[in-house]
Chains A and B, each alone.
Chain A
Amino acid sequence: MSAPKHVHDACDVLIVGAGASGAAVAWAVSGDTGAKVVCLERGDWSDPRSYLSADDQWEIHRQFRRSPNPNTRGLDVDYPIEDAQSPIKPLLWNGVGGSTILWSAHFPRFHPSDFRVQSLDGVADDWPLTYDDLADFYELNDELMGVAGLAGDPANPPRRPRQTPPISPGKPGERLAAAFDRKGWHWWPSDVATNSRPYGDGRGACNNCGMMELGCYQQAKASTDITYWPKAIRNGVELRTRARVVELPVDASGRCAGAHYLDAAGELHFQPAARVVVAANGIGTPRLLLASRSERFPDGIANSSGLVGKNLMLHPLATAIGVFDELLEGWKGPTACTIFSQEFYETDPARDYVRGFTLQALRSHGPAITALGSFATPLPWGRRHHERFEQVFGRTAGLAIVAEDLPEQHNRIEVDWSQRDRDGIPTARMVYTVSENSEQILAAGAEVARELLREAGAVDVIEQHLPADSRFHLMGTARMGDDPRRSVVDGFGRAHDVDNLFVVDGSTFVTCASINPTPTLQALALRTAMHIVEEL
Chain B
Amino acid sequence: MTDQRLPAEERALLAAVLDTFLPGSPEWPAATDLDLPAEAIRLAGLSVAGLAPLRALLAALPAGFATHGPDERETALTALAASEPAGFGAALQAAYNAYYIDPRVLAIVAAKTGYRPGAPQPDGHELPPFDEALIAAARTRAPHWRQA
- Let me know if A378 and B96 touch, CB within 8 A: yes
In angstroms, how far is the closest chain A Cβ from the Cβ of B122? 6
Taken together as a complex, chains A and B put the C-alpha atoms of A443 and B108 apart, in Å, by 38
Instruction: Tell me if B28 and A386 are in contact (CB < 8 A).
Output: yes
**For the complex, what is the distance from the CA of A207 to the CA of B99, rounded to whole Å?**
27
Bound together, the chains give a CA A65 to CA B45 distance in angstroms of 12
Contact residues, A337-365 vs B (CB, 8 A): 346
Chain A nearest CB, measured from B76 CB (Å): 12
Complex Cα distance, B99 from A152, in Å, reads: 46
Whether A371 pairs with B96 at a CB distance below 8 angstroms is yes
Judge if A168 is at the interface, Cβ distance under 8 Å: yes
Partner of A188, one of B23, B46, B135: B135
A445 interface residue (CB < 8 Å to B)? no
Chain B: minimal CB distance from A117 (Å)? 9
Cβ contact of A206, chosen from B46, B96, B127, cutoff 8 A: B127
Q: Which of A64, A112, A382, A383 contacts B148 (CB 8 A)?
A: A112
Residues from chain B with Cβ under 8 Å of A115 in the complex: 148
A-facing residues in B98-138 (Cβ within 8 Å): 99-101, 105-106, 109, 112-115, 118-132, 134-135, 137-138
> Which B residues lie within 8 Å of A54 (CB)?
119-122
* Complex interface residues of chain A between 84 and 141 (CB less than 8 A to chain B): 111-113, 115-116, 119-120, 130-131
A367-B105 Cα distance, complex, nearest whole Å: 10
Does B25 count as interface, using CB distance less than 8 angstroms? yes
Stretch at the interface among A25-33, A325-333, A421-429, A472-480: A325-333
A66-89 CB contact bits vs B (8 Å, 1 = yes)?
000001101000000000000000
Q: Are A382 and B74 in touch, CB under 8 angstroms? A: yes
Rounded to whole Å, the gap between the CB of B86 and the closest CB of chain A is: 13
Which residues of chain A are near B144, meaning CB under 8 Å? Answer: 154-155, 186
With A120-B148, A177-B134, A386-B27 already in contact, the answer to whether A58 and B106 are too (CB < 8 A) is: no
Contact B127 A386 (CB under 8 A): no
Q: Tell me, rounded to whole Å, the shortest Cβ–Cβ distance linking A504 to chain B.
A: 24
Interface contact B21-A385, CB-CB below 8 Å: yes
With both beta carbons as reference points, the residue of chain B lying nearest to A207 in the complex is identified as B124
A167 contact from B120, B127, B135, Cβ within 8 A: B127
In the assembled complex, the Cα of A332 lies from the Cα of B100 at a distance in Å of: 18
Known A332-B125, A371-B100, A386-B28: A72·B120 in contact at CB below 8 Å: no
A382 to B137 alpha-carbon distance, docked (Å): 45
Complex: A394 Cα to B113 Cα, angstroms:
7
Q: Bound complex: CA of A156 vs CA of B132, how far in Å? A: 19
User: Which of A208-216, A409-417, A520-528 is found at the contact surface with chain B?
Assistant: A208-216
Asked whether A51 is an interface residue with its Cβ less than 8 Å from the other chain, the reply is: yes
Q: How far is the CA of A206 from the CA of B128 in the complex (A)?
A: 11
Q: Specify which of B24, B124, B128 is in contact with A168 (CB 8 Å cutoff).
A: B128
Whether a CB of chain A sits under 8 angstroms from the CB of B143 is yes
Judge whether A165 is part of the interface by a CB distance below 8 angstroms: yes
Q: In chain B between 55 and 113, which residues have their CB closer than 8 angstroms to a CB of chain A?
A: 70, 74, 77, 92-93, 95-97, 99-101, 105-106, 109, 112-113
Q: What residue in chain A is nearest B20 (Cβ atoms)?
A: A382
Task: Tell me the bound Cα distance from A74 to B123 in angstroms.
Answer: 30
User: Closest residue of chain B to A187, judged by CB?
Assistant: B138
CB distance from A89 to the nearest CB of B (A): 13
CA distance A154 to B126 in the complex (A): 30
The answer on a CB contact under 8 Å between B22 and A381 is yes
> A166 near B: Cβ within 8 Å?
yes
Chain A residues lying within 8 Å of B100, measured Cβ to Cβ, are 59, 366-368, 370-371
Query: A52 → chain B, closest Cβ, in Å?
Result: 8
User: A154: which of B23, B25, B99, B141 is its contact (CB, 8 Å)?
Assistant: B141
**A371 vs B105: C-alpha distance when bound (angstroms):** 13
**Does A393 touch B at the CB level, under 8 Å?**
yes
B145 to chain A, nearest CB (A): 5
Tell me whether B47 is interfacial, beta carbon within 8 Å: yes
Shortest distance from the beta carbon of B119 to any chain A beta carbon, whole Å: 5
B48 at the interface (CB under 8 A from A): yes
Say yes or no for B142: interface residue by CB 8 A criterion. yes
Task: Give Cα distance in the complex from A154 to B140, angstroms.
Answer: 9
Report B-chain residues with C-beta under 8 Å of the C-beta of A119: 148
A-chain residues with CB within 8 Å of residue B21 when the two chains form the complex: 381-382, 385
Q: Which of A11-38 contact B (CB under 8 A)?
A: none
A217 touches B125 (CB 8 A): no
| Contact between B23 and A382, CB atoms less than 8 A apart | yes
> Quick one: closest A residue to B18, CB to CB?
A381
Min distance, Cβ B34 to any Cβ of chain A, angstroms:
14
With a cutoff of 8 Å between Cβ atoms, the chain B residues found around residue A9 in the complex are none
CA A75 – CA B4 in complex, angstroms? 19
Nearest CB of A to B48, in Å: 4
Contacts of B48 in A (CB 8 A): 71-72, 74
Please give, as numbers and ranges, the residues of chain B lying within 8 Å of A113 by CB-CB distance: 145-148
Q: A116-B148, A188-B135, A205-B127 are in contact. Are A368 and B101 (CB under 8 A)?
A: yes
Query: Quick check: A60 and B122 within 8 Å, CB to CB?
Result: no
Please, which residue of chain B has its CB at the minimum distance from the CB of A217?
B121
**Residues of B close to A379: CB separation below 8 A:** 96
Chain B residues near A (Cβ < 8 Å): 20-25, 27-28, 43, 46-48, 70, 74, 77, 92-93, 95-97, 99-101, 105-106, 109, 112-115, 118-132, 134-135, 137-139, 141-148
Q: List 30 A-B contacts (CB under 8 A).
A: A56-B101, A58-B120, A60-B97, A60-B101, A71-B48, A74-B48, A111-B148, A116-B148, A120-B146, A120-B148, A152-B139, A154-B142, A155-B144, A168-B127, A168-B128, A186-B138, A188-B135, A207-B124, A208-B125, A210-B124, A329-B114, A346-B146, A366-B100, A367-B105, A368-B99, A371-B96, A381-B22, A381-B92, A386-B24, A393-B115
- The 6 A-B pairs at the shortest CB distance, nearest first, are namely A207-B124, A209-B120, A368-B100, A209-B124, A112-B148, A217-B121
Beyond A177-B134, A367-B109, 18 additional contacts (C-beta under 8 Å) are: A51-B121, A53-B120, A60-B43, A119-B148, A150-B132, A154-B142, A165-B129, A181-B138, A207-B121, A207-B127, A208-B127, A211-B121, A218-B121, A378-B96, A381-B92, A382-B74, A385-B22, A386-B27
